[in-house]
Each structure stands twice: as structure tokens, then as C-alpha cells.
Structure 1
Amino acid sequence: MKKRQKKYCAYIDEYGNTGDAVKYNQDHPFGDQPVFCLSAVILEKDNKDINDFLDSVRPNAKEIKSKNMYPKWTPEAKRIFEKIATSKYKTRIELVDKKYQLCSFIVNQFIYPPGERGKVSMDDWKTVARPFSIKLYNCLSERVFVEYNKLAVNCSEENLQSFFDLLKAEVNSFDADDASDFMLDALKETEDSFQKRIFSFQRPENLFQKDVSNSGNELYLVPNLLAFTNIFMRLCSLPVRVEMVHDNQSQFASIMEQQKKFLVDHSRYLMKMNGVGWKPSDIKNLPITFADSKNSRFVQVADVVSGFVGRIHQKHMKSEALSNDEKEIVKLVCTSMLLNYVGPDKFGDIWDR
């Protein structure tokens, strides 16, 4: 008799998704949540062992949520991290510094677009693009982020040109050095491409992807989309097929499904990933279902992972000392999980152990 194949699910939830991720306000930068964290906890479907274990963590709690556990119940959260660290397939975590991600998108779109500099290899492109992004992270004024949000809402040719003008003025105000001079030259070259109506500016409205919430509000979740994309690709590389189970949130409507469709429709952009054990078209076969987190304990586990990783990272960004339990959680993530950090190196060292 053929042995029954086990079914696996990637339970997904995020932290730091309050409000419009593109928006920047000096008093409330990114909704007081400077990082976005997306976690996929990969477990056997209906895992009785994990389910029984969760009964012992907070037996009187109606729902296990990171915002209710941090920081008082950090020891219990550490137990959850310890338990899922023993899972057959490692938890995937995407940790994004929102400000850095916006800076890198500005570089990718307006200063040094990949694939638009002749035969420059991807590695050579990265050696230029990353320092540019860090330079913007450290030097850009708040006004640029405000105008970037306005551009997302109304990405017309006129507003694109105004944004180019703003960026040129900003970069020109940086302290003079070789990097600033190179950045200004690259920006002018990309602007010339825009004026000639070629490359990515042929359809300027496609520079941004929006989601519409159930209440009808438009949301521009730019950093989040990269995290979703990376999770899709990382799940494709697993040796088993998984079903994605995400918390059903009214704020985001169908953004994950929209991004999945976008990647399937534009799979040519992922062709460079061929040869790593899966094909870009595999994303199409990743099933996505949605569950109410109140009734899905494994989605709650993903919430705990994202919430604690995000909050610990924010604490590190403020140079605040971590508790012993927080240090243990960091150690578990570094040794037993797969975290992809997108942000400046000065804050990423905590996950580089």
C-alpha cells in the first residue's frame, strides 16, 4: 500500500502593517512601525503535537497574539520559538526596514533601474544600487517620502517629472563626493529615458501597485509587496507542496492574491531565478486560503513570530538593551529559522550571528 503523503501548510501573518506603507510623516513615521515583518511557519496540516503544546502556553487566553504577549509574556513566546524550531521545514521570515525599502525602490525606479544599463550584470548592479539606497536612507528629507506617496496616488507624467526635479535637487544638496556625483549622473540618465518614453516609464501608472480595502480605501503597500514576493519564491523552493494559509484581514483585502497574479503574469521578470530548483511558473500552483486568526492557532503562531521579531528589531534600532529571553529568541531565529533582512547593515547585525 502506498504510504500516505503528509500535507503541509505555510501559516502566514505579519507585523507592522498599520496604515499606508508608502506614507511618511515626521510625527508618526510609517504608523509608528518602521519595520514590516512577514513570517511563514511551515507545519504539517492539523499538527496535533503543536496544537497540544499551544494549550500549555497560555491556557486561559482566548487568542495568542504578540501584541498581548509583548513584553510581559516573552518567556512564553520563547517557548513557541523553541517548539517551531524543531519543525522539519524551517520558518521563513521577511524583515523589511520600510524607509530603506522605499529608498531602494526610488533607486530602482528613478536613479539606477536594473536591466536598463546595457549589459551590467545583476551583481555589478547591486554593488552600485545598495550604496545609493543607503545614501538616500541617511540623507533624504521627509518631503521626498511625502511626495513619493503623492506620486503613488497619482502617477501621471507631470508628477513623474516633478519627482525627478525634486530628486535632482535633493541629491545635488548632498555633500559632494564621488558617490553623490555618480548618483546625480545616473538620475539624469534615467530621466532622459523617461523623456524618451522608453523602459519602465512607458506606462507610468504601473510603477505602483495598489490594494483596495473592504472599506474602499486605497492602500499602497510598497515594501510589503517585496516581502510577499520573496515568501512566494522561497516557498516554491521547498521539496514539498504547501498550502498558504493567511490571516483574513479586512485592511488588505486580496493583496496577496493580487501580487501572486502579478508575478504569474510577469514571470519573465523572475527568469533569473531559474536553475535554483523551481520555475517562476511554480508560483501559479501555490494555493492560498484565508482563515480567521481567532480560529486558526497556527496563524496565531505566525503572528507571534512576526510580532516578536519586529518588536525586537525595533528595540535594537533604538539601541535599547535586549532581555535575556529576547536574546534567546534572536539566537533561535539565527540558528533554526531562515530570516531575510532588507535594510541598512547598521541595524541588520543582530540577525547575522
Structure 2
Amino acid sequence: MTNIFFLDESGNTGDLVKAGANLGFGDQSIFVLVAVGIDNEAALAAEFSRLRTIHRIHGSELKSKRLVGKPGVAADIAKYLQHRRLPVFVEVVDKRFFICATMVNHFVIPPVSQEFDGRRDVMEMKNHVAEYLHALAPLPVLQSYINACSAPSISATRTAFVEMAGWLDGRAATDGNAEFILKFVRDTIDEFEQGARSPDGEVNLYLPDPDLSKASNPFWMLPNLSSLTNIYGRINLFRQRKMADVTLVHDEQLQFGHILQSGKKTMEELAQAGKDWSIRNADYRVLERAEMRFLRSEESVGIQAADVLAGFIMRFVQQVQGSEMPAREFTEAYRAFADFTNPGRGTGINYVLPTRMVNLLNLFWL
């Protein structure tokens, strides 16, 4: 069974609290992480040599950003992997939806207990609330929470609650969903204000726990971290928890490498302590620890394969998100990924997107 997995990403990695004006994300609203299982890099290198000739690609390294107009390269790599029954794991994240989900999990309906929060019906309910915020919440509501993360204080969190509650209250009379969410928000506000009045100074600001840069600066929302841990759980499912001989080879991460290693370690420690949780297409009970190391893409055709796939998927999903109909050669290339998805084994594409977008993308596989 494949035991070496190469990972690369596309979509401007970084803290989403720095999303830019109007949550524009620097025109990269989608983040994608891909892991490909490769059992023979020499054979893949020979295939790359063939593809460079067929697609008239110059240079020794395949780079996604140089292949924007050549979707056939990604399609041919996908077909090569399918033909050899090699596993592919993809995480596709809508950054705005990721912010909304973070707000739901820490601010709107904050954690209660591992048992409660891990219930499937609770997770589905929270996902519905995140979809509601993604579809309807105005920019000031989202921005006020981002501001609270950027400069944490009682005042900033209170302002974020005022924005959220005010918006929901204005809709509640004619919108049952707004009324439902508002009840949770008001309960959370009551708990927050009680803490703010507490003489011991312990106040829950209802923010996510930040990860720290090497200079100890906080990162509040990192889709690359959650994507990595979910792919790790999916590989654990694929490998049936036999991970001792597994190696993850990730594209070099000068800024976030230590955070990714720390997140992986935390996931392993939680599993060892019996504090893992159930996810439909992944197994977070990592009982055997895989190795993870970082390598520059020019040193690994496996990483280059992950890069080409990640870049193509990111651009395709972003084009569909922007209500553009991709050209036929792009839709045909996207269809090449349909056969990878097997939820029971954890392989294929996992979407962290609103349901409407998932349904729309699935139409391209019909």
C-alpha cells in the first residue's frame, strides 16, 4: 500500500484576518491542498518528461502558474494516477465560508463539550448556520469579528456581538433562521457580559486559539492548517490506521512549517488521549504517527504533481464561484478527478464550501 504522500497547495496561504478590502483575499478566494500518493518517483519523472513533449512545456520543473492555459496537463497527471490506482486527497476551501464557520464554532455557538460538539446533528446544524452567514451576512458583521481577532479586547468582541445581534434582530420577524441563530447569540452575549463583569479578569473573548509565528505573532485563521490535519485524518482512514511507515513530504513552508508540524502533533496527542472526533470521510484516531518533512518543489516530481493539480482545481472552482462557465477543455479536465472520490476510503475531493457550490461543481461530473 502506498506510504509516501506528496503535498502542495494553491490559493495564497495566509491568515484570513488579513483578507483585504471587502474580503477580496487578493483575488484568490479559494484555497486548495492536494496530497498524492506516489510509489515510484522515477516512473512519474518519466511521465513528466513525456508530458513536457506532448504539451510543449519548457523547463525542467512543472509549475502550476506556468500552466494556466494548459488544463490538459492536470488532466493527464490525474489519468496517470488513476491508471496506477494511486490515491489522491484534495481539500477545497472557500475562504469566506471558512471565516463564517470559524465564527459559528467560536462566537455564535461556542464549544460546550467534546461529546456535544462532536455529535453529527450538532455539526450539521453548525454547518447550516455557517452557510446562512456566508449567504446573507453583510460585510460589517464579518469585518467586526475579524477586527476582534486583529486587536483582541473586550470592547472589540462587544462590538462584534452588537453587529451580529443587530443584523439578526432586524431579520428575525420574517426569517425563522435568523430568529433561531439570534437565540444562540443572545445566550453567548449573556455569558460574555457576565465574564466581562467578573472581578477575576478571566474573560472569554470568543475568538479562535491563535497559532504563533516564529516571532510570536498570532495567526487566527489558517485554512492550510485545518486542511493538512483533515488530509492526515483521511490518509489515516485510507491506511486503516497503519501509519508507522508513512511519510508526508510537503512543499517547503518557511513561514508556516512549524505550525503545520505542531498541528499534526496536537492531533496525534489528542488521539492518544482518546479525544479524537468523528468526521465522515476521515479518521482522526491516529494511533501510529507518520513522519512529515518539507522539500523544495524542484527537488521532487511528487510535489510538482500536487502543485499542478492544486493550481488547476483552485482556478476551476474559483471560476465557477464567479459564475463563469469554464471552457470545455477545462470542464473535461475537471471530470478526470471524479473517479478519485471514494468517501469510504477517504480519497478524492473534500469540499469546505457552501452546499450550493458543491452541488454546482458536482454537475460537471455528470
Bin the TM-score by the shorter chain: 0.7 to 0.9
Which residue does 2:235 correspond to in 1? 235
Farther off after superposition, 320-329 or 94-103: 320-329
Is contact 1:18-1:31 (8 Å) kept? no
Is contact 2:267-2:284 (8 Å) kept? no
**Cα deviation 1:258-285 (Å, max 9, x = unaligned):** 2113323444685333999966243x61
Work out whether 1:345 is the aligned partner of 2:349: no
Work out whether 1:141 is the aligned partner of 2:141: no
User: What fraction of aligned residue pairs are identical, expressed as a percent?
Assistant: 24
Q: TM-score, normalised by structure 1?
A: 0.85
CA 1:276–1:16: 2 relative to 1, 3 Å? closer
Query: Among residues 55, 80, 84, which one is paired with 1:83 in the alignment?
Result: 80
Which residue does 2:225 correspond to in 1? 225
Write out aligned runs for 1:249-288 (5 A). Answer: 249-267=253-271, 270-273=275-278, 280-282=285-287, 285-288=289-292
Farther off after superposition, 261-270 or 219-228: 261-270
Q: CA deviation at 1:124?
A: 2.4
Which residue does 2:199 correspond to in 1? none
CA 1:333–1:132: 2 relative to 1, 3 Å? same
Q: Distance in 2 between matches of 1:32 and 1:350?
A: 21
Write out aligned runs for 1:97-246 (5 A). Answer: 97-115=94-112, 122-174=119-171, 176-197=174-195, 204=205, 207-212=208-213, 219-239=219-239, 241=243, 242-246=246-250
**Cα deviation 1:216-250 (Å, max 9, x = unaligned):** 87544433332122111111112353210001132
Q: CA deviation at 1:19?
A: 4.3
Q: CA deviation at 1:83?
A: 0.8
**Cα deviation 1:119-165 (Å, max 9, x = unaligned):** 68723223432221122112222233333333223334443333222
SS at match of 2:177: helix
Q: CA deviation at 1:85?
A: 2.0
Q: Distance in 2 between matches of 1:62 and 1:211?
A: 36
CA 1:203–1:291: 2 relative to 1, 3 Å? farther
Which residue does 1:57 correspond to in 2? 51
Which residue does 1:307 correspond to in 2? 311
Is contact 1:19-1:30 (8 Å) kept? no
Matched residue type, 1:25 = G
Is contact 1:213-1:250 (8 Å) kept? no
What is the RMSD computed on CA atoms of the aligned residues? 3.1
Q: Distance in 1 between matches of 2:175 and 2:23?
A: 32
Q: Distance in 2 between matches of 1:227 and 1:82?
A: 24
Work out whether 1:30 is the aligned partner of 2:34: no
Q: CA deviation at 1:17?
A: 2.4
Q: CA deviation at 1:205?
A: 8.4
Which residue does 2:344 correspond to in 1? none
CA 1:277–1:209: 2 relative to 1, 3 Å? closer
CA 1:329–1:261: 2 relative to 1, 3 Å? same
Matched residue type, 2:62 = I
